[in-house]
């Protein structure tokens, strides 16, 4: 399957028009993380290198065709002294399949604080998915073979009082990545769509549902590397009316909170037809 470099590859067609790569996949629709990652790369290509991504907000509007390349139209909304903003629309066959706003910041000084990282088993104490995944989940291992993803068993999850559904996942890219910090940000945007909606299903494991990401927001808080271990501490505070709200905090192995994610997804009960 495609490497992350291949999955995030884009070409510039015009000053603010880009086209993303189409990669080999087993999925019937384009993986949402790939669309979001390519959209973010497109936005980055229009911003001065002195700015760093600090947030993105995206909506998945239509399922993408994984056999077709997506064109990304970038609008330069604002260029200020400290912040700049871009809006990106992903298009296939003349229809928008994804839209995203991304904000960039030069970085300033101010007060600092962060939540503590949960006390969880270390990734090296958990089995590699390549040797432990059930036969019915092997397709996921093939699809994301370049990622090391280790889900903490539910009986070992570090529980927080009052949270109804929790899931914790260690992950990293298996191979060394370029040192460019923006490449790691775009890689995390790709990865952040993976496993998060699953936190809404941990207390409904036997309910057959149709699942899809609806919208996705991220905040990048501190520098990190996506080829080092990261803990995705996930929770789903609510589900109803065929939708689930999920959120995640991402820590590096040193305990620094490096990113936060919120996503609403479709978890609609499967109809007989």
- Give the catalytic positions in this structure: 193, 213, 263
Query: What DSSP character marks residue 65?
Result: -
- Helix (H) / strand (E) element for 191: namely helix 181-191
Residue for token pair 């928008």: 96
Burial (0-12, 13-18, 19+ Cβ within 10 Å), 220:
buried
Q: How many residues does the structure list for the chain?
A: 273
Angstrom CA distances, 152 to 46, 81, 184, 215, stand at: 39, 43, 24, 25
Calculate Rg over the CA atoms of the chain.
Answer: 18
Residues whose CB is less than 8 angstroms from the CB of residue 45 and which lie 6 or more positions away in sequence, other chains included:
10, 12, 18, 74
CA 216, 219, 225, 230 torsion-angle sign? negative
Q: Taking a C-beta distance cutoff of 8 angstroms, is the pair 121, 165 a contact?
A: no
């Amino acid at each position: 399957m495609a490497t992350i470099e291949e999955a995030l590859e884009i070409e510039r067609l015009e000053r603010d028009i880009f086209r993303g790569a189409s990669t080999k996949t087993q999925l019937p629709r384009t993986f949402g993380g790939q669309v979001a990652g390519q959209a973010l790369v497109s936005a980055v290509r229009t911003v001065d290198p002195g700015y760093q991504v600090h947030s993105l907000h995206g909506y998945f509007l239509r399922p993408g065709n994984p056999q077709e390349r997506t064109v990304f139209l970038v609008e330069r909304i604002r260029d200020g002294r400290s912040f700049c903003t871009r809006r990106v629309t992903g298009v296939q066959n003349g229809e928008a399949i994804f839209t995203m706003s991304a904000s960039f910041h030069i970085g300033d000084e101010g007060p600092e604080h962060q939540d503590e990282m949960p006390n969880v088993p270390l990734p090296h104490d958990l089995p590699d998915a390549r040797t432990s995944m059930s036969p019915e989940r092997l397709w996921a291992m093939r699809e994301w073979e370049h990622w090391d993803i280790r889900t903490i068993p539910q009986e070992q999850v570090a529980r927080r009082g009052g949270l109804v559904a929790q899931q914790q996942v260690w992950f990293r890219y298996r191979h060394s990545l370029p040192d460019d910090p923006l490449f790691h940000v775009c890689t995390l945007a790709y990865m952040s769509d993976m496993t998060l909606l699953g936190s809404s299903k941990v207390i409904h494991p036997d309910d057959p549902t149709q699942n899809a990401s609806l919208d996705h927001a991220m905040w990048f808080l501190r520098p990190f590397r996506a080829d080092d271990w990261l803990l995705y501490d996930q929770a789903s505070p609510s589900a109803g009316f065929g939708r689930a709200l999920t959120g995640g905090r991402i820590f590096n192995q040193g305990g620094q909170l490096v990113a936060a994610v919120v996503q609403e997804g479709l978890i609609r009960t499967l109809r007989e037809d």
